[in-house]
Chain A
Amino acid sequence: MSIGHTLLALLESGPRHGYDLKRAFDEKFGHDRPLHYGQVYSTMSRLLKNGLVEVDGIEAGGGPDRKRYAITEAGITDVATWLTQPEKPEPYLQSTLYTKVVIALLTGRSAAALLDTQRAEHLRLMRVLTDRKRRGDLADQLICDHALFHLEADLRWLELTSTRLDRLAAEVRP
């Protein structure tokens, strides 16, 4: 996730202090991973240096997160550009699981058992997310669904691979 662009975008509705930005970020996007103050501070100084934000005021008392930030014209343009550009799709070509399957076949261990264990582990996580989804609000549902669809894709691959182990074994073994 691009923290810089996200914090920048949060400033479009009006100037905020660093701690206020952190709170807004955590509330909307920090579900599992709240920001550290250090991250906010370093990100804001970078945005400041690049002219994407400016200091709009400083609270009495001083200190790094007493600054109030406002987005600049350049900052608004930067957010707009970020939203227009598509994210690079994950290629998913480097798979530890695939490697493990091949190694198991090469070393005469059970690839089927490995796939079974992995399926159980994936399903365990899917249960946790499904449970969280049924108790959560729309934001929770969308975040969990995103993860669930990816896990489901992994499981389809596991299933397909487990039906092709004999062929794969014949190909990878010298």
Chain B
Amino acid sequence: MIPEGSLLIAEDLHKTYAHTPALAGACFSIHPGEVVAVLGPSGSGKSTLLHCLAGIVQPDAGRVRYAGRDLTALSDAERSALRRTDFGFVFQFGQLVPELSCTENVALPLRLAGIRRKAAEQVAMEWLERLEVADSGSKRPGEISGGQGQRVAVARALVTSPRVVFADEPTGALDSYSGERVMELLTEAARSSNAAVVLVTHETRVAAYSDREIVVRDGRTRDPDHSL
């Protein structure tokens, strides 16, 4: 059942919040460097699936395996260490620290990994340049547009060379033109550093930037290529 060569695999995940079932048998797998879209209507369990895959939320039942390790069996401390070294995150908004400049924001994950300020900011500036927001480096998140902010967030997600980037509605707060530009830059940058991307979205035009899609409905996944 387990796809050959997968980096991240989830089997039969279940999660209930209070009395709300969020996941009721969700499966997932992704290869290194692959971009997989997670589609589905609002409330279907996409974000919960992403949180379980990233080790942010513990499923009630089912397993998540990453690079051969059972994520669900790790301690909280081990999981958060893994998140810092191996995963990157892009959310819809609100992920940048408002008091820091954009360069400092992008450098932050490197600083947390023990890299000196100057070296970290040097790398951060290179990433801002790649994402075409070099001009925003000295500004604070509140001083730039939504589209620029998401590019800064993408830079921050990729700066540690993660093996998986988790993006939850990364274009959800943007107009369609800047949203597509963010998707172009995100997928290009991820491909060139061989990072896999788990892309949660309800927009099919955004999903079209993926290599493959899965559909979540009522907490259950359906892989369209295996549905019949």
Contacts from A to B (Cβ < 8 Å): 113, 116-117, 119-120, 122-123, 126-127, 129-130, 134, 148, 151-152, 155-156, 159, 163
**Please, which residue of chain B has its CB at the minimum distance from the CB of A151?**
B204
CB of B224 closer than 8 Å to a CB of A:
yes
| Cβ contacts B181-220/A at 8 Å (1 or 0 each) | 0001000000000000000000011011111010100000
Which residues of chain A come closer than 8 Å to B225, judged between CB atoms? 120
CB distance from A133 to the nearest CB of B (A): 9
Alpha-carbon distance A148/B183, docked complex (angstroms) = 15
Which residue on chain B has the smallest CB distance to residue A120? B224
List, sorted by A's number, 5 A–B pairs whose CB atoms are closer than 8 Å: A116-B215, A117-B227, A129-B208, A130-B209, A156-B204
Known A113-B228, A116-B224, A116-B227; 20 more pairs at CB < 8 Å: A113-B227, A117-B227, A117-B228, A119-B224, A120-B225, A120-B227, A122-B204, A123-B204, A123-B207, A123-B208, A126-B205, A127-B208, A127-B210, A127-B211, A130-B205, A130-B209, A134-B184, A152-B205, A156-B204, A159-B41
* Residue B31 lies at the interface, judged by CB distance under 8 Å to chain A: no
Q: Looking across the interface, which residue of chain A has its beta carbon closest to that of B184?
A: A134
CB neighbours (8 Å) of B204 from chain A are: 122-123, 126, 151-152, 155-156
Complex: how many Å from CA A163 to CA B44? 12
* Min C-beta distance of B228 to chain A, whole Å: 6
Q: Is the CB of B222 within 8 A of A116?
A: yes
Chain A residues closer than 8 Å to B215, beta-carbon distance: 116, 119
Identify A148's interface contact among B184, B205, B210, CB under 8 A. B205
A123 and B213 CA atoms in complex are apart in Å by: 9
Cβ of B88 to closest chain A Cβ, rounded Å: 22
5 pairs of A and B residues whose beta carbons are closest in the complex: A120-B224, A126-B208, A130-B208, A155-B204, A116-B227
On chain A, the residues within 8 Å of B184 by CB distance are 134
Question: How far is B213's CA from A116's CA once the two chains are assembled, in angstroms?
Answer: 11
Residues from chain B with Cβ under 8 Å of A130 in the complex: 205, 208-209
Q: Report chain B residues within 8 Å CB of A113.
A: 227-228
Residues of B within 8 A of A126 (CB): 204-205, 207-208
Which residue from chain B places its CB closest to the CB of A128 in the assembled complex? B208
Assembly CA distance A151 to B203 (angstroms) = 12
Q: Which residue of B lies closest to A116 (CB)?
A: B227
Q: Which residues of A contact B41 (CB under 8 A)?
A: 159, 163
The reply to whether B224 and A117 form a contact with Cβ atoms under 8 Å apart is yes
Q: How far is the CB of A9 from chain B (nearest CB, A)?
A: 29
Type the 1/0 row for B71-102, where 1 means its CB is closer than 8 Å to any CB of A.
00000000000000000000000000000000
Instruction: Using A116-B215, A123-B213, A163-B41 as known contacts, say yes or no to A148 and B224 having CB atoms under 8 A apart.
Output: no
Cα A113 to Cα B210 in complex, Å, equals: 22
Residue among B208, B209, B222 with the highest chain A CB neighbour number at 10 A: B208
Shortest beta-carbon distance from A34 to chain B in Å:
27
A129 to B205, CA, bound (A): 10
- Alpha-carbon separation in the docked complex, A117 to B205 (Å): 18
Which B-chain residue is minimally distant from A159 (CB atoms)?
B41
